[in-house]
Amino acid sequence: MAGSRGACLIIGAGDGLGGAIARAFAAEGLAVCLTRRPRNLDQLEALAAEITAGGGTAHAFGVDARSEDEMIALVDRIEREVGPLEVVVFNIGANVRFPIRETTTRVFTKVWEMACFAGFLTGREAARVMVPRGRGTILFTGATASVRGRDGFAAFAAAKAGLRAVAQAMARELGPQGVHVAHVVVDGAIDGVFTRERLPGAVEGLLARDEILKPADIATSFVALHRQAKSAWTHEMDLRPWTETW
């Protein structure tokens, strides 16, 4: 099997934070399994090729994380063809802004499916294979919306708050069975395509002053959570630039 130290599955491995998390765990010697929706498979394969060229092991999978059948099949395939899952990271964002009077039931449901329901499926399937081995790490990427709802983000906040509650329940249930579950509140703008489009011309200055979250620095914290000793596990970690208000 590839990846003698086991496998790391990242649900939502895009060009920004997901890619940085993948590179960080590949550097730890894990075979990283990258997923996005099938229509983005070409981009995912390019990321996998980059990691492989750098000496790591990476595999790309086009998967709809909202599909129970696809998630079950994905986990079974990784366990069979890549290696035992040691780390699973749920990193789907679904950060969209809709004023409450413009939030349709379709929008609300879609956001919940992406940012909460898919996280539940990811966590459940990770637990299915980790609990019998008595080890493993399940990490959920949260946001400011996980703990506070902003104007225009009712759907996103509801989904992220729900994901946080799922993570809390899982941590209390799975911790005594040897599986570390942690939720990371990323409080602030993250450098990436989305932020650069919203703040054209401003990101370089923010990066130089460390006033924006850098994906590689966030990824370092994800790896640190996986490395934690059982006697001092963290369930929730919050990350923000030094200039960000709480």
Asked whether the predicted pLDDT for residue 229 surpasses 60, the reply is yes
Residue 3 pLDDT > 50: no
**Rounded to 5 degrees, what are φ and ψ at 70?**
-70, -35
CB burial string 2-14: b at 16+ within 10 A, e below: ebeebbbbbbbbb
Q: Is 153 helix (H, G, I), strand (E, B) or coil?
A: coil
- Spell 196-219 as b/e; 16+ CB within 10 A means b: eeeeeeebeebeeeebbbbbeebb
Q: How does pLDDT run across 103-151, given as a tens digit for each residue? A: 999 999 999 999 999 999 999 999 999 999 999 999 999 999 999 999 9
Q: Is the pTM of this model over 0.75?
A: yes
* Interval 176-186: pLDDT, tens: 999 999 999 99
- List the domain boundaries for the chain: 7-228
Q: Which of the pair, 134 or 36, is modelled with greater confidence? A: 134
Whether domain 7-228 has CATH 3.40.50.720: the reply is yes
CA 177, CA 175: separation in Å to the nearest integer? 5
Return d(Cα 191, Cα 185) in angstroms, integer. 16
Q: Which residue has the higher pLDDT, 65 or 5?
A: 65
The DSSP code for 60 is: E
Which residues, 6 or more positions from 136, have their beta carbon under 8 angstroms from its beta carbon? 85, 86, 87, 88, 126, 129, 130, 178, 179, 180
Q: What is the pLDDT of residue 4?
A: 53
- % of the chain beyond a pLDDT of 70: 96
